[in-house]
Structure 1
Amino acid sequence: MARNIEWGCGAANRPTRVSWVSVACFAHTLQLAINDGFALYLNREISAAGKLVGHFNHSTVASKALQKKQEQMGLASHRLIQSCKTRWNSVCEMFDRLVEQRWAVAAVLSDRTVTKLQDARILELKDEYWQLMEETQHVLRALKCATTVISAEKDVSISNECKLHLVQSAEFVSSAPMLSAMLDPRHKHLGFLTPAQRVVANMKLVELGEAVETGQEAIEQAGGHVDDGSANTGAAAATQASAMALLLEEQYSTQLDTGIDTEVNNFLRDTPPPLDCNPTDWWKVNGRRFPRLAKLARQYLCIPAT
């Protein structure tokens, strides 16, 4: 289905009707990458660990013996977790639990009143398997955390995707996810990029901002408030300002620079909100201060990451 949609978007692009860019589902892409890694490096370990966990989950004798060993060794009374092919996170959970209960499991397997010698030889994991499970714990936990973030019920904008990317190509710096991250007040400083990459990303944002219309309509769309004072008051203020300008000459003019460069610089200098802040709520409050960027934010922050 996804390929059909992507092909349809490509067909729509060819007659120059629209200029849609295909953005892959990040969660699905991450899952495919992790499964490829499992197939290349961890298939044997996952299979062997699954057999070991299955033995304890299906044997009442082994399960009770494990509980006794946990009490004797002062370990937490936790059941072993079986992995599921459709949930790669379960591999991380299975490895974590096995590493936690390693010595209790080994004690049960070495007890001939509980486990037969023939079964123990089949179920016991090699030292290299245990070592590999310990070494991959940090990586799998980080990937599990990334999956949790991207699968949340709220605030799943594509702006959250950039900090989770493990590989950042030159094209990625000016891509939709990166621009969305720049427009997200939480991630705008792009601390995960090199200084040179940040310069390129900022230039791309300025380039897009130059094409955005400004004025009263843009300010209203950005959530700003337009003063509804009387015409006489406005005329008096204009006359007073003109007289002041004539009196103090142009070098004392108080007219603000509203160029896109200034707007981007002011936005980047602004204190970022906490990570649990909803970026759309932030723009509702601050849209009037950055009207061009607010319009871009509405276009990019609405793109879902998954």
Structure 2
Amino acid sequence: MESVSAIVHDEASNAVLAGKILWDVAEWESIVCAAHRLQNAIKHAVDNQSMQRLLAKCRHLVGHFKHSALATDGLMKKQKALGFTKILRVIQETPTRWNSSFYMLQRLVFLKQPIRLYLEDTMDEVDRRSYDLTDNQWAVAKALLNLLESVDQVTTTLSGEKYSTLSWCLPLMYGLRKVAEPDHNDSSTVRSVKANLIEQLDRRFNLRHLKVDSPVVLAAALDPRFRKLNFLSTEERLQLKSVLIDKAVDCDAAVVPADTSGPPAKKQKSVLDRLLGDDEEAVSGVTVSDEVDAYFEERPISRKEDPFVWWRSNSSRFPRLSYLAKKFLSIPATSTPSERVFSVAGIVVDRKRCALTPDMVNALVFLHKNSYMLGLTEEEPSVPQAELLLLPKDHETIEISDNEVDTDDTDDVIEVESGDEETGDESNTSDP
């Protein structure tokens, strides 16, 4: 258990209490799952009367198509008549699936025109009003897509398992907070959702009162991509440096372990070593304070680079900080990776394979999670892809027009057979 440095758990009171006990007993860092916190934040942000009416109306509309093959067929025909090259179904909101409200709203906004045409052709005015959204509700749904998409991207980025995620947490949360700032063109409903989300982010992630010795702050500081720590004040940066110096002093013994095997063998020094001193002498002559100052004085590396690769190349220059970086950058920001393992195990073991031994189950799950090393599956990138990044200086507002579509839900896509072959165009609708 000496290799365990932290535990990641949800916001349940019993899990939080267990984390405090383990810190007192074994000094394991207690990390609340960032994805659970974010989902609870957005859940409370949309908890107002107008948004609940909108979501209920959307569920009612989606349910009409989900429970009627005739209605679904009619919607498909309307899309084909409008020139869609890919026919899409509506998406049902699932309470247990993160961001499913966003997927439902995004698909409805895209299919607004064929949905309204179908309702006009098949229902009288009274029935149509019970299903169709009002013009104001359509406008609110479209206005919220940018914010909800940002929440979805943050959740996806923090749920990765083949790159450091804890260091992304605070930069992304501050970026999301900036995206949630109200605009003068926002309606009262949109303003309410954004204000509630900002309040939830500040409270759940302590964005206004950060503790500089918390693992999430230390992880960001030890990630060479974010070492400028723009979300901290000058005073907080000085406090953080003091914390890092204290922790670096404590890990000196681990970085340079005591030699109990007797005097080291004398090594032949080169001419350059005699003139400049060898590498070991150079490192030992650097104080902890100098090492920390030198690290923060350097420019941040590109966000596309892997921090572990950088630390591997620079561990000799920053031996103490490199030791701390291995500890804090290896902590996941969410419990999603471990939950994926349980999901895989649930697929491996079923009623027809209940005789598998525990060792065999462990081996099958291990092979599944590491199949990319054998070339059986595509390897997940070591850093988040550009479209998943949500930092203030790089964020670009994405407008969702009536001719845009989310192509990720392949299960809800039906190819249209026509006389013309596809030209390879990435768009999902043809030009008007």
TM-score using structure 2 length: 0.57
Q: Which residue of 2 aligns with 1:69?
A: 78
2:91 match: 81
Shift of 1:289: 1.2
Please identify which structure carries the higher helix content: 1
1:23 matched to 2:38? The reply is no
The 5 A counterparts of 1:214-229 are 218=255
Deviations 1:257-286 (A, max 9, x none): 612333223323445444344333332232
Query: Within 2, Cα distance between the matches of 1:145 and 1:255?
Result: 41
Which gives a bigger RCO, structure 1 or 2 (Cα 8 Å, sep 6+)?
2
Structure 1 unaligned spans of 5+: 221-228, 243-253
Let me know the Cα RMSD of the aligned residues: 3.4
Are 2:283 and 2:316, in contact at CA under 8 Å, matched by a contact in 1?
Answer: no
- Aligned residues between the structures: 282
Superposition deviation, residue 300 in structure 1: 1.5
Alpha-carbon distance change, 11 to 212 in structure 1, aligned in 2, over 3 angstroms = closer
Deviation at 1:128, TM superposition (A): 2.4
1:259 aligns with 2:268: no
Judge which range, 197-206 or 22-31, deviates more: 197-206
Report the Cα distance in structure 1 between the residues aligned to 2:270 and 2:237, rounded to whole angstroms.
Answer: 45
Q: C-alpha distance in 2, partners of 1:270/1:25?
A: 31
Larger radius of gyration: 1
Q: Distance in 2 between matches of 1:195 and 1:139?
A: 30
Offset of 1:180 from its aligned partner?
0.8
Matching residue of 1:56: 65
**Sequence identity percentage:** 30
Q: What residue is the counterpart of 1:161 in the other structure? A: 169
1:37 aligns with 2:53: no
Q: Which residue in 2 is equivalent to 1:190? A: 229
Summarize the Cα distance change of 1:288–1:10 in structure 2 as closer, same or farther, 3 Å threshold.
Answer: same
Read off the aligned partner of 2:243 and give its amino acid letter.
K
Query: Given that residues 83 and 91 in structure 1 are in contact (C-alpha distance below 8 angstroms), is that contact kept between their aligned partners in structure 2?
Result: yes
The answer for the alignment partner of 1:205 in structure 2 is 244
Report the Cα distance in structure 2 between the residues aligned to 1:207 and 1:139, rounded to whole angstroms: 40
User: Secondary structure at 1:22's aligned position in 2?
Assistant: strand
**Contact 2:57/2:131, CA 8 A, preserved across alignment:** yes
Give 1:44's aligned amino acid: R
Displacement of 1:182: 0.7
Deviations 1:234-269 (A, max 9, x none): 498887679xxxxxxxxxxx9996123332233234
Instruction: Report the Cα offset of residue 92 of structure 1.
Output: 0.8
User: Which of 113, 132, 139 matches 2:140?
Assistant: 132
Counterpart of 2:359 in structure 1 is none
Q: Deviation string for 1:218-239 (max 9, x for gaps)?
A: 268xxxxxxxx97363498887
Deviation at 1:291?
0.8
Instruction: Name the structure 2 match of 1:250.
Output: none
In the superposition, the TM-score normalised over structure 1's length comes to: 0.77
Q: Where does structure 1 differ by over 6 angstroms across 4 or more consecutive aligned residues?
A: 235-242, 254-257
- Indicate the residue corresponding to 1:231 in structure 2: 266
Partner residue in 1 for 2:215: 176
Relative distance call for 1:199 and 1:108 in structure 2 (3 A) is farther
User: Are the counterparts in 2 of residues 176 and 300 from structure 1 also a CA contact under 8 Å?
Assistant: yes
Q: Which runs of 5+ in 2 are unaligned?
A: 1-8, 174-200, 258-263, 335-432
Change (3 A) 1:77 1:238: closer
**Which amino acid in structure 2 is aligned with residue 66 of structure 1?**
L
Kindly provide the amino acid, as one letter, of the partner of residue 87 in structure 1. R
